[in-house]
Chains A and B, each alone.
Chain A
Amino acid sequence: MSRSLVLAVILLLPFVGSLCAAMLPRNARNGAATLAGAFALATAVLAATLYGDVSDGGVVRAGLAWLPQWGLSLSLRLDGLAWVFTLLVSGVGTLVVFYARYYMSPADPVPRFFSFLLAFMGAMLGIVLSGNLIQLAVFWELTSFTSFMLIAYWYHRGEARRGAGMSLTVTAAGGLCLLAAVLLIGEIVGSYELDDLLAAGDTVRTHAWYPTLLVLLLIGAFTKSAQFPFHFWLPHAMAAPTPVSAYLHSATMVKAGVFLLARLWPVLSGTDLWFTLVCGAGLITLLLGAVAALFQRDIKGVLAYSTISHLGLVTLLLGMNSALALIAAVFHMMNHATFKASLFMAAGIVDHESGTRNLKRLGGLAAVMPITATLATVAAAAMAGVPLMNGFLSKEMFFAETIFASANPWLRFGLPSVATLAGVFSVAYSLRLVHRTFFGPMSQNLPREPHDPTRWMLAPSALLVAACLLVGIFPARTIGPFLDGAARAVLGSDMPGYSLAVWHGLTLPLIMSVVALIGGTLLYLLLYRRRDGALAPAPFSKPLDGKRSFDVSMVVLMRTADRLLNTFSTRRLQPQLALIVLAAVAVTTYTIWHQRALAHSIVSTPLNPTFALLWVVGGACAIGAAMQAKFHRLAALIMTGGAGLITCLTFAWFSAPDLALTQVSVEVVTTVLLVLGLRWLPKRLESEEPDRGTWSRARVRRMRDAVLAVIGGTGLAAIAYVIMTRPRTPGIAEYFLTNALPEGGGRNVVNVILVDFRGFDTLGEITVVGIVALAVYKLLRRFRPAPESMPLPRAQLADGDGFSPVPSGDSLPRGTMRVPAVLGRLLLPVAGVISVFFLLRGHNAPGGGFVGGLVLATGFIVQYMVSGTLWIESRMNIHPQYAIALGLLCAAGAGVAAWLLPGNFLTSLEWHAALPLLGEVHLSSTLLFDLGVYLLVVGGSTLILIALAHQSLRSYRRPVETSSTHVRPAAPGEGSQ
């Protein structure tokens, strides 16, 4: 496999695995875990194979141009830094999957869990591997969403839902700020590619937008990495299952923010603003987290605040504008991932085995869980920065950096003191965590009898602890080359010299470490003695807790939105429609107002009195329908049909035979449809008019609507008149007229446009018809008619009910419809022949698939009307769904056929041949396309009408629950059965 392909596969694998896991059954515990583990491991192994290509400062790239003209492309980029993070994400991911297999309860639907976990892993890899900033922002938001799913995995718990909601709100909002920053960067650099950006550092730093974009980007990074003042979401996210915390809140998601800062470090750092903002936030977070961690009751709470504190340390290092500090930051990110993940796993084990994570209840567990206690103690020692652990090394580098950070006397002494103080607290909370859980008096009355878990559950944690020790003892031989590669990827050729060694001699940083260790131990002893390690709330936790302000701002936001909605919107349809009409009138008036004067030459056709008379009738029909639609629905429907027929004649009159044909067949089908629907509407009688007060208010409304209607109508008429009487300027019509025969092979230009030139549009339109038909079918299946429209209509009662099963011997339905039934049955074959005739001639003469399809559909409907649903369905198999599917297949097939030859989708293919007997035959793929249209229109219209026809049948056969009191009135015709 080529390098680029491997890179693409690395990114794709987790998403593929996520999809596979999602399809497993709910109880596939081992299956889902094995699958997820295999995918995660494969990702890690693949990533490891690429080490050779990036170890010497090389970069592996893969890309797919999507919208290159807008700078949007899928672009992957793997360098030393990205490689380290890829391995961290996939490696810790594998271990977490392994751990989760034993942690999750058999009652949990684990496939969902592993599916989300893999999706998250993919999103995280997407951030790490992105070579395009927009793409990075997209994956950034994707991690927010997938982590929301993971935190809310136990969604029956209120705290899980709240924590997930809070983390999503904070991190996704930060992601939007990041996107804004990315867009600004793109404007400045002129490209969204990371490579271009890394080469344009000076341009960005000196640009006037630099402060704005820096602030926006930092909001993005700080929300993700839980930096002050956005740190408050992380402790609430601890409601997630512990494997999620071990993964998201130690090794991956919270690292995304600091990763981004390291990634863009060469571009953005080096300014005073960067130093102030990044160092400031880092310093506050470092102290705040360390102090708060000391006062938590929950083991996971301690770990959450300690994570906040350690991320603050990393941020502080990144803000120092020094190459050595950057190396220390990257080193500490790796170290923190290993010891914090293993500590979270230990916390999960304690919770799993003892039933509680409350430090007040726990104690002395070392006696019953010796292995867990050993692992946790070593990991906590790494967290505290005890020598021979990896945490010690990076912390010492941190101490060293604080000493030389600045010449400013305040910072020169202040920074090292604060760093040492944070170290003191860090030692104290690590000590407290281990001591209160595993040592001291044995805890009583635990929910479960604690003991060491199965070896396999300990293995992931043990591996991580082993890594802590190995790195801590032999740093140069283990982590050295990787750290070097990662730092080189950021710093390029300006790598400073540094040494990874346990012993540097008696230096100031070492003294600071010792002070921190001794001070931390003393601090813990002091607290433990004085207040029995009292678990008071942390000092200044109240004013610095962002949760309250978060809640308040959410409530304010919701209330404001509600108020705005109440003020500016309505759920009532009539004002909305009136506004739409008004807006249309206003926009048109405005446009016309600014229109240049039209040419004055007036074209007109001589008036034909017959045509004028036709429209006198048509206009009367329209106005009549408008007046009668409330109380005399059938009359209104008939008059609408009248207006439609005159419209149809107008099409025929003015040289549009295709339109006339389509309009007349649609008119028939629509009218049948509305007649079928009439039955389900409530009775409305003129005598039910409301009282006088309501009536006068209604009068005002009617006046207003009448004015609006008259304005709309007059305006449309005026525009139509003005345009019609001006000569036509040449447009695209000439092209179609000239090319229809040579290129489309048809004489009927309208049809050629539909099935050939604009075939793709038509394909879309018939798809819509198919979708509507299926939607109608499905909607009506769910629906039960109102109880009062249940009784059979009078006419059908007199008929002896047209619905009860007809003995198969009967050749004709009963009742008064016998003669129409004979005629209607004769009509079907005729309709079939006519429809095929229209279909075949459509390319060269008026006709086509639309008209043909509607004619055949009408034929079917007539059968239903004259013979009754049951009678006809016991004798004919009508499956309109098949016609819809076949029609779409035909039309799409005609399009795909063009691919057989090197042609674009829907290019028409033609075939001429002289056959014996038949003479010259001309076949074109457009005929197949038109056949598709035909079949789809037949299927769609028939399905809609049949669904409505079945409605009365269903309601009759299966009365709704509410109509149990309904007794079908005895019908005179029934006796005869």
Chain B
Amino acid sequence: MEMVVALAIGVLAASGIWLLLRPRTFQVIIGMSLLSYAVNLFIFSMGRLKVDSPPILDGATDLSRLADPVPQSLVLTAIVIGFATTALFLVVIIATRGMTGTDHVDGQERDS
């Protein structure tokens, strides 16, 4: 399972980085989304993978068996902030497009 999650992180990150370096704003915003999945999964995986033991205290389970709640709470806020960032980025993209007439990340097409 660890291998699968690691590969998943790798593929998401590689796709994200690739898109991040592309010239069109929409590519970059999709790249940011993919990269944030990868990073969220990465942080989450730092708590190690545990099945069927959510960090919810039922009084019966041994505490050491529960999943690590710290990366989970970090990722939870990261997801919400990620949404806010995406929204802001999208609006900046739309505004740039309206003002410059292009969707190139530099606000102007390359001269070459």
Known: A622-B12, A622-B34, A747-B57. A753 touches B112 (CB 8 A): no
B4 and A750 within 8 A (CB): no
B1 and A607 within 8 A (CB): yes
Contact of A750 among B51, B72, B88 (CB under 8 A): B72
Measured CA separation A866–B70 after assembly (Å): 40
The residues in B between 26 and 57 inclusive whose CB is less than 8 angstroms from any CB of A are: 26-27, 29-31, 33-34, 37-38, 40-42, 44-57
Measured CA separation A758–B40 after assembly (Å): 19
B87 and A681 within 8 A (CB): no
A737 and B69 within 8 A (CB): yes
Measured CA separation A663–B6 after assembly (Å): 19
B87 and A776 within 8 A (CB): yes
Measured CA separation A626–B34 after assembly (Å): 9
Measured CA separation A520–B102 after assembly (Å): 74
Known: A674-B90, A753-B73, A775-B88. A733 touches B21 (CB 8 A): no
Q: Chain A residues with Cβ under 8 A from B26's Cβ?
A: 629-630, 633, 636, 681
The residues in A between 623 and 645 inclusive whose CB is less than 8 angstroms from any CB of B are: 623, 625-626, 629-630, 633, 636-637, 640, 643-644
Measured CA separation A572–B83 after assembly (Å): 25
Interface residues on B, range: 35 or more
B34 and A780 within 8 A (CB): no
Contact of A630 among B20, B22, B45, B51 (CB under 8 A): B22
Measured CA separation A651–B5 after assembly (Å): 11
User: A717 near B: Cβ within 8 Å?
Assistant: yes
Interface string of A774-798 (1 = CB under 8 A from B): 0110011011111000000000000
A705 and B69 within 8 A (CB): no
Contact of A712 among B8, B13, B48, B51 (CB under 8 A): B13
The residues in A between 714 and 738 inclusive whose CB is less than 8 angstroms from any CB of B are: 714, 716-721, 723-725, 727-728, 731-734, 736-738
Q: Chain A residues with Cβ under 8 A from B51's Cβ?
A: 605, 653-655
A720 and B45 within 8 A (CB): yes
Measured CA separation A385–B83 after assembly (Å): 75
Q: Chain B residues with Cβ under 8 A from A713's Cβ?
A: 9-15, 17, 38
Q: Chain A residues with Cβ under 8 A from B21's Cβ?
A: 574, 577-578, 581, 705, 708-709
Contact of B83 among A653, A758, A941 (CB under 8 A): A941
Measured CA separation A643–B45 after assembly (Å): 17
Among B83, B85, B102: residue with most chain A CB under 10 A:
B83
Measured CA separation A387–B45 after assembly (Å): 89
* Chain B residue with Cβ nearest A748: B56
Known: A623-B11, A630-B22, A765-B80. A674 touches B1 (CB 8 A): no
Query: Which of the segments A269-277, A456-464, A612-620 contacts the partner chain?
Result: A612-620
Measured CA separation A120–B15 after assembly (Å): 57
Q: Chain A residues with Cβ under 8 A from B34's Cβ?
A: 622, 625-626, 640, 643
The residues in A between 754 and 774 inclusive whose CB is less than 8 angstroms from any CB of B are: 754, 758, 761-762, 765, 768-769, 772-773
Q: Chain A residues with Cβ under 8 A from B99's Cβ?
A: 783
User: A657 near B: Cβ within 8 Å?
Assistant: yes
Q: Chain B residues with Cβ under 8 A from A725's Cβ?
A: 2
A716 and B77 within 8 A (CB): no
A741 and B17 within 8 A (CB): no
B67 and A654 within 8 A (CB): yes
Q: Chain B residues with Cβ under 8 A from A682's Cβ?
A: 97, 101-103
* Chain B min CB distance to A654 (Å): 5
User: A834 near B: Cβ within 8 Å?
Assistant: no
Contact of A666 among B3, B52, B80 (CB under 8 A): B80
A656 and B44 within 8 A (CB): yes
A666 and B82 within 8 A (CB): yes
User: A603 near B: Cβ within 8 Å?
Assistant: yes
* Chain A min CB distance to B21 (Å): 4
Measured CA separation A603–B3 after assembly (Å): 11
* Chain A residue with Cβ nearest B27: A629
A717 and B13 within 8 A (CB): yes
User: A4 near B: Cβ within 8 Å?
Assistant: no
User: A484 near B: Cβ within 8 Å?
Assistant: no
* Chain A min CB distance to B20 (Å): 6
B1 and A604 within 8 A (CB): yes
* Chain A residue with Cβ nearest B99: A783
Contact of B69 among A663, A721, A750 (CB under 8 A): A750
Known: A630-B24, A723-B45, A780-B91. A846 touches B56 (CB 8 A): yes
Among A656, A779, A948: residue with most chain B CB under 10 A:
A656
Contact of B80 among A606, A662, A720, A737 (CB under 8 A): A662
Measured CA separation A780–B37 after assembly (Å): 27
B50 and A655 within 8 A (CB): yes
Measured CA separation A753–B75 after assembly (Å): 12
User: A405 near B: Cβ within 8 Å?
Assistant: no
A709 and B45 within 8 A (CB): no
Q: Chain B residues with Cβ under 8 A from A653's Cβ?
A: 51
* Chain B residue with Cβ nearest A697: B112
Measured CA separation A714–B99 after assembly (Å): 39
* Chain A residue with Cβ nearest B24: A630
B55 and A662 within 8 A (CB): no
B85 and A749 within 8 A (CB): no
User: A940 near B: Cβ within 8 Å?
Assistant: yes
Q: Chain A residues with Cβ under 8 A from B5's Cβ?
A: 615, 650, 720, 724
Contact of B77 among A733, A765, A947 (CB under 8 A): A765
A769 and B95 within 8 A (CB): no
A663 and B79 within 8 A (CB): yes
Known: A604-B2, A712-B14. A656 touches B72 (CB 8 A): yes
Measured CA separation A773–B80 after assembly (Å): 12
User: A647 near B: Cβ within 8 Å?
Assistant: yes
Known: A663-B79, A694-B112. A670 touches B84 (CB 8 A): no
Measured CA separation A769–B79 after assembly (Å): 11
User: A692 near B: Cβ within 8 Å?
Assistant: no
Known: A650-B41, A670-B86. A720 touches B6 (CB 8 A): yes
Contact of A611 among B1, B41, B45, B63 (CB under 8 A): B1
Q: Chain A residues with Cβ under 8 A from B98's Cβ?
A: 680, 783-786
Contact of B95 among A629, A656, A783 (CB under 8 A): A783
* Chain B min CB distance to A689 (Å): 14
* Chain B residue with Cβ nearest A710: B14
Q: Chain B residues with Cβ under 8 A from A782's Cβ?
A: 95
* Chain A min CB distance to B86 (Å): 6
* Chain B min CB distance to A955 (Å): 9
User: A573 near B: Cβ within 8 Å?
Assistant: yes
Measured CA separation A783–B97 after assembly (Å): 10
* Chain A residue with Cβ nearest B35: A712
Interface string of B97-110 (1 = CB under 8 A from A): 11101110110000
Q: Chain A residues with Cβ under 8 A from B20's Cβ?
A: 577, 581
* Chain B min CB distance to A616 (Å): 9
Q: Chain A residues with Cβ under 8 A from B53's Cβ?
A: 655
Measured CA separation A940–B84 after assembly (Å): 9
B72 and A659 within 8 A (CB): yes
* Chain A min CB distance to B87 (Å): 5
Q: Which of B's residues lie within 8 Å of A, judged by CB?
A: 1-27, 29-31, 33-34, 37-38, 40-42, 44-58, 63-64, 66-70, 72-73, 75-77, 79-88, 90-95, 97-99, 101-103, 105-106, 112
17 examples of A-B residue contacts, CB within 8 angstroms: A604-B1, A615-B7, A618-B11, A622-B37, A625-B19, A656-B67, A659-B79, A670-B83, A681-B94, A712-B13, A716-B9, A717-B6, A721-B3, A754-B76, A783-B94, A786-B101, A850-B77
Q: Which of A's residues lie within 8 Å of B, judged by CB?
A: 571-574, 577-578, 581, 603-608, 611-612, 615, 618-619, 622-623, 625-626, 629-630, 633, 636-637, 640, 643-644, 646-647, 650-651, 653-659, 662-663, 666, 669-670, 673-674, 677, 680-682, 684, 694, 697, 705-706, 708-710, 712-714, 716-721, 723-725, 727-728, 731-734, 736-738, 740-741, 747-750, 753-754, 758, 761-762, 765, 768-769, 772-773, 775-776, 779-780, 782-786, 844-846, 850, 937, 940-941, 944, 947-948, 951
A572-B106, A629-B24, A670-B86 are known; give 10 further A-B pairs, CB within 8 A: A622-B34, A650-B5, A669-B83, A681-B97, A709-B13, A734-B63, A749-B66, A749-B69, A753-B70, A780-B95
